[in-house]
Structure 1
Amino acid sequence: MDIGKIIKEKRSEYNLTQEDLAQEFFVTRQLVSKWENGKSYPDLKQVVQLSELFDISLERLLKEDTEMVEELNFDTKRKKIFKILSILITVIVILTIAFFGVIRWIDTVFLTADDIQITKITKRVLPEKERIIEGTGEKVTLPEDVEYTIHFKSNGWLINLYNVSGQKEYSDDKSIMVNAKAEHHLYSHNKESTIVIRSDRESKLFDPDLNVGKSIYLYNIDKVSKWHRKNTKKFDFPSIAKSGDKLADIKELEKLPSK
């Protein structure tokens, strides 16, 4: 006897309607009807529930219904395959996240003004001086300039500072842009560092990018990205004031004593 006939026989024996049995298994009456007519089969869990409900052994339920057994075997294999695929997909997703996490981890950290606490700024004034150009014997006058060393500390989580973490990038008529970089490290043993702003009057004799009379800004990559999202012109670049965080105003710098 196939399982559909057994279900119908036991349902009648227990005085249950198809609707009663459907409610017991949280399925539709139409599905129960398909079970009994051999047009569909209960799954393995439902077979076990039928066995318990009608107090009939699984062996009897499945003994002569080879088609039902094959269906259950196929369903079990399909669930195993689905489970394996789910595990593989999960592993791939985790590995992908881990890969990009590692890439981000080993990438350079660009510090912003919120990441650092300035402890001291020292200034060194470079007076005018004469210099003879080797080879030509030409005499040039190096203009007065100034150099700064910004001492700071950072309490960023898993951030390790270099001994010198930043330097001058470029400047305009009123401002100097500097950067400050660090590295990710499980043990942040270096929490204090410096940003060094050197004069280039020696290396650029005829067009020096002087530091004197300028405020200092720290490069902020988030501000730059935000500016470029709003300004799509290919060759436009934000001003120093719009792409950096002010670290020191010229008025403060002029009051500093010179070393």
Structure 2
Amino acid sequence: MDIGKIIKEKRIEKNMTQEDLAQKFFVTRQLISKWENGKSYPDLEQVVQLSDLFEISLESLLREDTEMVQELSFDSKRKKWFKVLIASLVGVLLVGIVGFFGVVWWIDDVSLAKDDIEVTKISKTVLPEKQVTIPRTGEVITLPEDVEYTIYFESKRWLIHLPKSIVAEKWRGDDDNLLIFLRGEHHLYSFNRKSKLMIKSEREQNVLDPDLNIGKSIYLENVEKLKKFRASDGFPSVSDHGDKLYDRQDLENLPNSSANNP
């Protein structure tokens, strides 16, 4: 006896209509009719549910219905390959996402901290007081004395490329400390790991309120240190931003390189 006849026989034994059975399986009455007439087959999960509902074994349901068994076997294989296909697509998608963010990370600038570099030398150039005329008003003012520094260093990190010379970006923190930023680039080959970081004076960019280098300690930005600080409340100071490279007293004792090289 094929499975369609068994479904019909057991349904009648339980005094169920096709509509009653359809509601239990969340399908249409027409589909139940197709099952019973051999025009369609339930899937494997539905066969298991029929077995439980009618209290008969799966073997009894499938024993003589060779065509049904072949259909279920094919359907099972199809689902297996479908799962494999889905897993493959998910894998490709994940690789694509990781690759995308990897490229974004790779092309982004690298922030170098104190532990990422080895300083080999620092030189200081003293800029004496200087008189300048403000074009708009014709007023003559005296710019205060300032200093410029050149820090020679080598990167300890691999796959980082550095220009031969870098003009340091600065953050105006306070009257005692100067925060500078050092950026590099990701590169498959570290062609240039040695560079010099030049800390220029900006007294002529803002003559009325110059941000001077003189008399300040030098700090180098530390991104990881700043991230930890952001977890707490408050406004970060220069020391919260970075690590001290040179103390102001040590900088004051440096010789004036311009005097040695007129």
Within the candidate set 42, 56, 61, 1:38 is matched to 61
The CA deviation at 1:211 is 0.8
> What residue in structure 1 maps to residue 155 of structure 2?
154
Cα distance in 2 between the residues matched to 1:129 and 1:80: 80
The CA deviation at 1:222 is 1.6
Cα distance in 2 between the residues matched to 1:205 and 1:165: 24
Report the 3-state secondary structure (helix = DSSP H, G, I; strand = E; otherwise coil) of the residue aligned with 2:68. Answer: helix
> What residue in structure 2 maps to residue 126 of structure 1?
127
Matched to 1:188, the amino acid is S
Cα distance in 1 between the residues matched to 2:230 and 2:167: 24
> What residue in structure 1 maps to residue 202 of structure 2?
200
Cα root mean square deviation, aligned: 2.3
> What residue in structure 2 maps to residue 54 of structure 1?
none
The CA deviation at 1:170 is 2.4
The CA deviation at 1:219 is 1.1
Change (3 A) 1:166 1:179: farther
The CA deviation at 1:149 is 0.8
Report the 3-state secondary structure (helix = DSSP H, G, I; strand = E; otherwise coil) of the residue aligned with 2:239. Answer: helix
Change (3 A) 1:176 1:168: farther
> What residue in structure 2 maps to residue 222 of structure 1?
224
Matched to 2:129, the amino acid is E
The CA deviation at 1:130 is 2.0
Cα distance in 2 between the residues matched to 1:251 and 1:122: 14
Matched to 1:71, the amino acid is L
> What residue in structure 1 maps to residue 249 of structure 2?
251
The CA deviation at 1:221 is 1.6
Q: String of CA shifts for 1:166-215, please: whole Å, max 9, x gaps.
A: 51412311001100000000011010112211111112111010111100
> What residue in structure 2 maps to residue 94 of structure 1?
95
Q: String of CA shifts for 1:93-135, please: whole Å, max 9, x gaps.
A: 1111111111111011011111111111110011112223335
In the alignment, does 2:186 pair up with 1:184? Answer: yes
Change (3 A) 1:135 1:78: closer
Cα distance in 1 between the residues matched to 2:75 and 2:167: 65
Cα distance in 1 between the residues matched to 2:76 and 2:157: 53
Cα distance in 2 between the residues matched to 1:165 and 1:112: 15
Cα distance in 1 between the residues matched to 2:183 and 2:61: 72
When the two structures are aligned, how many residues end up with a matched partner?
Answer: 205
Q: Is the 8 A contact 2:169 2:182 kept in 1?
A: no
Name structure 1 gaps, 5 residues minimum: 3-32, 42-61
Within the candidate set 211, 214, 232, 1:212 is matched to 214
Matched to 1:204, the amino acid is N
Cα distance in 2 between the residues matched to 1:228 and 1:88: 39
Change (3 A) 1:237 1:194: farther
Report the 3-state secondary structure (helix = DSSP H, G, I; strand = E; otherwise coil) of the residue aligned with 2:170. Answer: strand
> What residue in structure 2 maps to residue 173 of structure 1?
175
Give percent identity, aligned residues only: 43
Cα distance in 2 between the residues matched to 1:165 and 1:38: 81
Cα distance in 1 between the residues matched to 2:59 and 2:159: 66
Report the 3-state secondary structure (helix = DSSP H, G, I; strand = E; otherwise coil) of the residue aligned with 1:230. Answer: coil
Name structure 2 gaps, 5 residues minimum: 3-55, 258-262
Q: Is the 8 A contact 2:167 2:200 kept in 1?
A: no
Q: Is the 8 A contact 1:166 1:180 kept in 2?
A: no
